[in-house]
């Protein structure tokens, strides 16, 4: 923006001006430069501009800055378009089946050949392969926000949690759905607690619920009588008091599914007239108390407090006085007062992560505690902001004193812990970026006959959306490789979630912030293919996709949202869809299970990989190992027999001589 000096009224003047700077000529004429037409330029004095006054000068700068920024964005998009054009795009596959729902699904879970979808006023059961609805249970006044499903063999244990934080246990067996118990439901609404998180052990022997209420938080652990449930559903007995009504209406009714426009593969009914045995409450775990000054008078009292060295390392039993804590606090405040805006107080733990662990020599447990193999016997837990990973025995009653049987102290607070699907490996990630990998399966044998064969691959997703692969083998040091680097310019390519495909070891599903879904082979590493929704659908919340991956089958479910349906105010006409992707059905992936990149020896010798193999492969591997052991024994017996014969012959020859 500028203002010309001249106007229509003013007279315009034109002149020739020399290019460059004017200089004082020398006194002698012979040194004067010769004029050239190219040394002059025609200048119209009427076209000269004046500087703008304020605030127009500032507006001019802002407009120019805006144009410059827009041009930079245009150049960046052009560069990105060129990169995308030159990049090798992976093969994309559409979903095989689309299941249209009348209500918005809030959560999903897969177990065996069934899909459990939680939504408004309850949950529904669908067939995994043909997406047909089998049964719908809508007895609540609020929505179901999360749901778990655990395989118990021929039965399935279902655990939905609604908006009010009430957790319920359901038992799904053949053609019947049974309500076991509402875990934290009370008659007095003022005393109602909220279920924040829950976990069910592998096999369904135990369950733990993280509850919060009245300013406190604790963990309730239950033992599940699944053997009694099976007997009670096979030989049902009516309830003793059928007239007694539950809090939720119409729960104690026999209600078969009837729908005019619904095709069903099986006739499932809700058996509210049959009462199943209730879970047994065995323990209530509270967060560890803040470390304060000691109340002991001598170190001997401290050691006497720690019985059999269980709980040693928790920091609760010490001989540090209050005065020493005050001195340390004063030194800390004096050194870091300028970095502290206000007084800092330790916040109570508000979240906990817990896992059910199988028997292992690594975990110190009482000698008298013995349980069947393959059944969880220990509960591992760490609280938010805590350095310690606690172990609690599951072989106890509610009357027993709740003290940890073991403690693993870490140098920094534990932020993430993860247990493998086979319960053989445990990973602890601390705040300082240190990862600790534990092989619980190798710890079952205190004196191994052969060298350690532990082998583990752990995929780590960092907060900056970078993806790493940590490999640990035997006694060798771990190796770290980058799978996906941190996005710098294109933030929409950031990874928001990852999920392993347990039926295809070594395969990983990667969900991007831009709505992309890719399958990666972490052993190579490379992107195998990508999965896309139909053009009319996309992920409404791409940074938090709603998906579920099957444990037994190489397939996963993904919720898709229609743009028009998201913006619509009429919720009755909204059609939501859940899309089914079967990895074995696509041409590129149909032989992936057979042509996996993990060596066959690792698949059979490693306990973690062996557990995720199909049943036929596991049986074949077991029989091969048994045959090899028998063959080895036979050869040893043959060698021993030959040796005995040779010894007898030598003795006879010596006797004859």
List, for residues 30-68, the tens digit of each pLDDT value: 666 665 555 555 556 555 566 778 888 889 889 999 999
Report the pLDDT value the prediction gives residue 249, as an integer from 0 to 100: 39
List, for residues 412-422, the tens digit of each pLDDT value: 999 999 998 88
E strand or H helix at 481, and its extent? strand 479-484
Q: Which residue carries 């060129």 as its tokens?
A: 82
**Model confidence band, residue 273 (pLDDT cutoffs 50, 70, 90):** confident
Mean pLDDT, all residues of the chain: 78
Percent of the chain clearing pLDDT 70 (strictly above): 68
List, for residues 220-242, the tens digit of each pLDDT value: 999 999 999 999 998 877 655 54
Instruction: Indicate whether 561 pLDDT > 90.
Output: no
Both tokens of residue 212? 């919060």
Report the pLDDT value the prediction gives residue 147, as an integer from 0 to 100: 95
Report the pLDDT value the prediction gives residue 10, as an integer from 0 to 100: 44
What's the angle, vertex CA 74, arms to CA 72 and CA 76, rounded to 5? 70
Both tokens of residue 394? 């599951």
Instruction: Indicate whether 383 pLDDT > 60.
Output: yes
- More confident position, 100 or 364: 100
Whether the CB-CB separation of 533 and 556 falls below 8 Å is answered with: no
Task: For residue 464, give the 3-state DSSP assignment.
Answer: coil
Report the pLDDT value the prediction gives residue 189, as an integer from 0 to 100: 83
Report the pLDDT value the prediction gives residue 509, as an integer from 0 to 100: 95
Q: Exposure string (b/e) for 120-153, b if CB count within 10 Å is 16 or more?
A: bebbbbbbbeebebbbbbebbeebbebbbbbbbe
List, for residues 420-470, the tens digit of each pLDDT value: 888 888 999 999 889 988 888 765 444 455 566 678 889 999 989 999 999
Of 543, 581, 545, which is closest to residue 560 (Cα–Cα)? 545
Could you say which DSSP state residue 558 is in? E
**Model confidence band, residue 353 (pLDDT cutoffs 50, 70, 90):** very high
Instruction: Indicate whether 577 pLDDT > 80.
Output: yes
Of 291, 292, 288, which is closest to residue 390 (Cα–Cα)? 288
Report the pLDDT value the prediction gives residue 373, as an integer from 0 to 100: 72
**Model confidence band, residue 70 (pLDDT cutoffs 50, 70, 90):** very high
Q: What is the mean pLDDT of residues 199-218?
A: 92
Report the pLDDT value the prediction gives residue 255, as an integer from 0 to 100: 40
Q: What is the mean pLDDT of residues 6-14?
A: 46
Sheet holding 378-383, edge to edge: 352-357, 378-383, 388-393, 406-409
Instruction: Indicate whether 360 pLDDT > 90.
Output: no
Q: Dihedral of CA 562/565/571/572: which sign? A: negative
Report the pLDDT value the prediction gives residue 324, as an integer from 0 to 100: 72
Percent of the chain clearing pLDDT 90 (strictly above): 32
Query: Of 41-45, 298-302, 368-372, 530-534, which gets the smallest average pLDDT?
Result: 41-45
List, for residues 122-137, the tens digit of each pLDDT value: 999 999 988 889 999 9
Nearest-angstrom CA–CA distance, 445 and 221 = 28
Whether the CB-CB separation of 556 and 548 falls below 8 Å is answered with: yes
């Amino acid at each position: 923006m500028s203002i010309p000096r001249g106007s229509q009224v003013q007279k315009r003047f034109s002149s020739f001006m020399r290019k460059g700077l004017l200089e004082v000529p020398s006194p002698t004429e012979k040194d004067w430069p010769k004029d050239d037409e190219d040394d002059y330029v025609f200048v119209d004095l009427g076209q000269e501009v004046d500087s703008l006054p304020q605030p127009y000068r500032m507006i001019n700068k802002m407009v120019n800055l805006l144009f410059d920024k827009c041009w930079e964005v245009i150049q960046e998009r052009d560069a990105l378009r060129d990169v995308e054009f030159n990049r090798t795009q992976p093969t994309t596959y559409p979903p095989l089946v689309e299941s249209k729902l009348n209500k918005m699904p809030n959560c999903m879970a897969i177990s065996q050949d069934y899909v459990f979808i939680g939504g408004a006023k309850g949950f529904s059961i669908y067939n995994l392969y043909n997406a047909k609805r089998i049964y719908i249970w809508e007895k609540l006044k609020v929505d179901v926000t999360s749901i778990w499903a655990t395989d118990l063999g021929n039965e399935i244990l279902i655990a939905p949690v609604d908006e009010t934080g009430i957790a319920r246990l359901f038992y799904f067996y053949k053609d019947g759905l049974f309500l076991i118990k509402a875990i934290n439901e009370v008659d007095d609404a003022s005393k109602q607690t909220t279920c924040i998180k829950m976990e069910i052990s592998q096999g369904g022997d135990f369950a733990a619920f993280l509850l919060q209420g009245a300013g406190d938080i604790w963990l309730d652990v239950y033992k599940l009588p699944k053997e009694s449930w099976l007997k009670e559903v096979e030989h049902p007995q009516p309830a003793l008091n059928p007239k007694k009504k539950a809090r939720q209406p119409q729960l104690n009714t026999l209600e078969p599914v009837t729908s005019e426009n619904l095709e069903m593969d099986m006739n499932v009914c809700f058996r509210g007239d049959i009462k199943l045995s209730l879970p047994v409450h065995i323990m209530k775990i509270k967060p560890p108390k803040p470390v304060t000054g000691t109340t002991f008078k001598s170190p001997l009292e401290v050691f006497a407090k720690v019985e059999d060295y269980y709980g040693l390392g928790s920091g609760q039993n010490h001989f540090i006085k209050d005065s020493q804590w005050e001195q340390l606090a004063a030194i800390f405040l004096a050194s870091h007062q300028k970095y502290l805006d206000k007084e800092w107080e330790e916040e109570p733990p508000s979240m906990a992560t817990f896992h059910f662990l199988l028997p292992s020599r690594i975990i110190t447990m009482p000698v008298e505690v013995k349980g069947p193999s393959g059944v969880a016997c220990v509960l591992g837990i760490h609280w938010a902001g805590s350095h310690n990973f606690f172990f609690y025995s599951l072989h106890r009653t509610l009357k027993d004193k709740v003290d940890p049987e073991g403690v693993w102290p870490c140098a920094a607070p534990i932020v993430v812990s993860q247990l493998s699907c086979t319960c053989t490996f445990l990973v602890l990630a601390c705040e300082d970026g240190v990862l600790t990998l534990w092989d619980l399966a190798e710890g079952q044998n205190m004196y191994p006959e052969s060298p350690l064969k532990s082998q583990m691959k752990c995929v780590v997703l960092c907060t900056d959306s970078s993806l790493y692969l940590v490999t640990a083998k035997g006694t060798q040091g771990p190796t770290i490789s980058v799978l996906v680097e941190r996005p710098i310019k294109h933030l929409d390519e950031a990874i928001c979630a990852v999920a392993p495909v347990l039926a295809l070891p070594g395969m990983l599903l990667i969900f991007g912030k831009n709505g992309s879904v890719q399958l990666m082979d972490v052993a190579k590493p490379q992107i195998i293919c990508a999965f896309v929704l139909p053009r009319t659908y996309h992920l409404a919340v791409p940074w938090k996709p709603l998906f579920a991956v099957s444990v037994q089958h190489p397939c996963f479910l993904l919720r898709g949202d229609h743009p028009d349906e998201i913006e619509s105010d009429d919720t009755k006409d909204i059609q939501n869809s859940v899309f089914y992707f079967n990895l074995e059905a696509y041409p590129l992936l149909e032989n992936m299970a057979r042509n996996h990149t993990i060596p066959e020896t690792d698949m059979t010798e490693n306990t973690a990989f062996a557990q995720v193999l199909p049943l036929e492969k596991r049986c074949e591997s077991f029989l091969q190992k048994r045959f090899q052991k028998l063959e080895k024994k036979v050869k040893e017996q043959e060698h021993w027999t030959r040796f005995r014969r040779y010894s007898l012959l030598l003795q006879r020859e010596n006797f004859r001589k």
